[in-house]
Amino acid sequence: MAQYLLTYLQRVGEDYLRWAVCDDRNKSVEAHDHGTFADAARAAERRRVVMVVAGTELLLEEAHVPVSNVAKAIKAIPYALEDQLAQDVETSHFSFGAKLPNGRIPVAVMAMDALDWILDQCEASKLTVSEIIPEPHALPLENDRITVMTNDGHAAVRHSVGKGFSCDTDMLSLLLGNVVTVPDETDNDDAESPSPEDTVYNALHFSCGPDRYELATAEGPVQMRSEVELFSRGLAQAKSRSKKHPYINLLQGEYSKTEAIGKAWKPWRVPAALAATLLALWGGSAFLQYQTLGIEQQRLQSEMAGVLKSTFPGVRNPDSDPVRQMRSRIKALAGGTGAVDDGAFIVMMSAVGIALKEANSPTVKSMNYRSGKLDIELETASLQDIDKIKSRLEADKKLIAAVRSANKDNDRIKARLRVEVPS
């Protein structure tokens, strides 16, 4: 029986894990425990280690770009999702799953500094992790049913193969309502969709550990000993039916090399590159280096122009700044040209100013206006204040306001709202 240690990190930045010893066929889950990263490393005992990380640190989407080649699509996806990110594309790590039958590609986006913190903790504790999996992707999935996991103030939701989120249970009803009221872009307009109430009623609800959260579902909560036991069940299902129920391993791209040799080499990359450069200059080969770099730059420019031309055959001058042209055309396909509508912006800002007066001591952390959409990051004293702001923005039916995320931080509520003009 091939055993592995399944660990669960609910909060990035906190040296606390829960874990259990599992097997690939889900025949047993035993040795439940909790502690620091170092404690988990001792519990691993030469077993393979898999980590599930809370979905509050991630954006999970199913992206679609109009190209048939997966490699080309992966290059374009970061810019297609740019408007949905809380951080810049350059500071985000993108991981991808297998292409779905509907042509979409599952993608998980995580801030690089958050993933770096996890890997630094693992390195310092000598905990060698082979996979890091988003929490919603570790939940079981049944056809046409939402899966909800709750435990001690925390909730995770998986509402499709690639999509899901995590939040405080105080925010679950609000965010779950947003999910079931937004139709999927691939749905048939002629087909009759179930009501939001029916969708939640038919959801699969798992209650883990000391949990008393009540969700109005047909079957009621399925009791599990812990989140780790539930994740073991979900991952076993994914491995047995990988084509229909994939999950994403975040250790991709530059984060795929996590072995000890790679870790030892990482701090020496910059000094080695500098030493190589000095040696080249000392040997009188600087001119040859510059000539080689010039040829490489021309080759890369030609490749980028080729990708642009093959993706958008109608482009007239692909050699002229192909990166800028690719971004512009992806934004246009996503539904906007990126131009600022001054009239809509003024209406939004005026409405936001009025709506904020409804809340008790709100604090606006940031505002970002792109492609006719205004993203607001703010803090309030309570969840009711978020509801008041949302209701006031939609009172005149001139704007649509959606709560993108909401989480408790000590005695404050941190939330992200998106405001836009109805289409």
Q: What is the pLDDT of residues 363-392, one digit of tens each?
A: 888 888 887 888 999 999 998 999 999 999
**What's the pLDDT score for residue 17?**
96
- Using 50 as the pLDDT threshold, list the residues of the chain that sit under it: 186-187, 189, 258-261, 336-340
Query: Would you report the helix, strand and coil content of the chain in percent, each value rounded to 5?
Result: 40, 25, 35
**What's the pLDDT score for residue 50?**
95
- The β-bridge partners of 313 are none
Token digits of residue 156: 């995770």
Domain edges within the chain: 1-258, 271-328, 342-420
- Note the pTM of the prediction, 2 decimals: 0.64
Token digits of residue 235: 């991952």
**What's the pLDDT score for residue 338?**
45
Q: Selecting from 3.30.1220.10, 1.10.645.10, 3.40.50.300, 3.30.420.380, what CATH number does the domain 1-258 have?
A: 3.30.420.380
The mean pLDDT of the chain is: 82
**What's the pLDDT score for residue 116?**
94
Whether residue 222 contacts residue 204, with contact meaning beta carbons closer than 8 Å, is answered with yes
Architecture in CATH for domain 342-420: 2-Layer Sandwich (3.30)
Tell me whether strands 204-208 and 222-224 are parallel, antiparallel or unpaired. Answer: parallel
Q: How far apart are CA 117 and CA 280, in angstroms?
A: 36
Token digits of residue 204: 């699969």
Residue type at 392 in one-letter notation: R
**What's the pLDDT score for residue 25?**
67
Q: Which long-range contacts (CB under 8 A, 24 or more apart) does 330-339 make?
A: 330/65, 330/76, 330/79, 330/80, 331/79, 331/82, 331/371, 333/65, 333/66, 333/80, 334/80, 334/83, 334/371, 335/371, 336/371, 336/372, 337/371, 338/370, 338/371
Angle (deg, nearest 10), helices 322-333 and 70-80: 80
Token digits of residue 49: 């280690």
